[in-house]
């Protein structure tokens, strides 16, 4: 007999208890379907010794499932009402696991310290800040080895896009600096309350070493931003402002072994790192 997870009636009752009206600005769409939670937790491939970082636990739908699968859960929630409610909810539904949960009232875009080093990120992310949250956490917490996030379906496609594909862009390249990302499924709208207007997608990731380069992450990300700010232009033209002139841009591109008439959307993160490195060396 699997442990009980929240259904629609539970979520509505919990929301009524704290008188919460879900807001769009905080991306508050709560999962009301236990099977969806089981699917997310299974797709996350968690080991029983893991510490999971959950962003935006909300009313606790996913938190319950994570507590059944991992050793600890550290939950970071920006909404004070929800953060205050969660420990009591878990104490009621999983009293034996309540001590394995830490709830932090914080903004996931700003959080710098956690009470335990997380090994995995599993979250149903607030949609408007999903990409910056993922990048920020991968940067701040090197202990994160893997994870699974639920985001808008089109954002899931972008995060997992390979070079040269239609949806490849800044999120794809920056995510690839930290990890390899792969789409792990689509989730319909009716498993949420309130129901969002668009489908959600699951993205699984595994950390990998960034490309070997003498350029800093900031330098590499600056080239990526410049290349995609004018993605229809050739790299020589798109990177002219970043390099100082079209000639300097062409020099950096040639030194990096990249065709100056190519477009940024065909380059992988290692190529962007070579361009940043070539420009930094020429400037020295
Ligand atoms: N995990 C819950 C579930 O699956 O039912 C709720 C997911 S809901 C899509 C997103 C949650 O993230 C909300 O609880 C919202 O208050 C919270 N949130 C929004 N922005 C945040 C931020 N910057 N940092 C931390 N939590 C945030």
Strand partners, 185: 202
Q: Look up residue 205 and give its DSSP letter.
A: E
So what's the ipTM on this one? 0.99
Task: Kindly state the tokens that stand for 18.
Answer: 């704290």
pLDDT digits (tens, 9 = 90+) for 37-77: 999 999 999 999 999 999 999 999 999 999 999 999 999 99
Share of residues in the chain with pLDDT > 70 (%): 100
> What average pLDDT does the segment 86-115 reach?
98
CA 75/CA 161 separation, integer angstroms: 28
CA 205/CA 99 separation, integer angstroms: 28
Report the separation in Å between the CA atom of 193 and the middle of ligand 1, taken as the mean of its atom positions. Answer: 13
Q: Is 8 in the pocket of ligand 1 (CB under 6 A)?
A: no
Encode burial over 27-47: b for 16+ CB neighbours within 10 A, e otherwise. bbbbbbbbebbebbbebbbbe
pLDDT at 187 over 80: yes
Nearest Cα residue to atom 14 of ligand 1:
58
Mean pLDDT for the chain overall = 97
pLDDT digits (tens, 9 = 90+) for 128-145: 999 999 999 999 999 999
CA 7/CA 32 separation, integer angstroms: 5
Contact 77, 18 (CB under 8 A): no
pLDDT at 3 over 90: no
- Mutation probe of ligand 1 site: the residue of 12, 53, 126 with most atoms within 8 A of C-beta: 126
């Amino acid at each position: 007999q699997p442990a009980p997870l929240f259904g629609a009636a539970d979520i509505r009752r919990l929301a009524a208890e704290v008188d919460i009206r879900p807001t769009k600005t905080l991306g508050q769409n709560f999962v009301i379907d236990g099977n969806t939670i089981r699917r997310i937790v299974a797709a996350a491939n968690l080991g029983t010794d893991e510490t999971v970082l959950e962003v935006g636990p909300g009313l606790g739908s996913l938190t319950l499932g994570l507590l059944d699968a991992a050793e600890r859960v550290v939950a970071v929630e920006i909404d004070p009402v929800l953060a205050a409610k969660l420990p009591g909810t878990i104490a009621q539904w999983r009293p034996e696991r309540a001590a394995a949960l830490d709830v932090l009232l914080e903004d996931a875009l700003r959080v710098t310290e956690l009470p335990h080093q997380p090994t995995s990120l599993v979250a149903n992310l607030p949609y408007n800040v999903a990409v910056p949250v993922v990048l920020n956490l991968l940067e701040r917490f090197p202990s994160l080895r893997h994870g699974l996030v639920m985001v808008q379906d089109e954002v899931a496609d972008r995060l997992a896009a390979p070079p040269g594909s239609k949806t490849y862009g800044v999120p794809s390249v920056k995510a690839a600096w930290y990890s390899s990302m792969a789409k792990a499924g689509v989730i319909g709208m009716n498993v949420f309350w309130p129901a969002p207007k668009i489908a959600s997608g699951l993205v699984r990731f595994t950390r990998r070493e960034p490309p070997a380069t003498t350029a800093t992450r900031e330098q590499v990300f600056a080239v990526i931003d410049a290349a995609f700010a004018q993605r229809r232009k050739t790299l020589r033209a798109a990177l002219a402002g970043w390099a100082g002139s079209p000639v300097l841009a062409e020099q950096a591109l040639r030194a990096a072994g990249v065709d100056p008439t190519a477009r940024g959307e065909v380059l992988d993160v290692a190529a962007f790192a070579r361009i940043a490195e070539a420009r930094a060396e020429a400037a020295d």
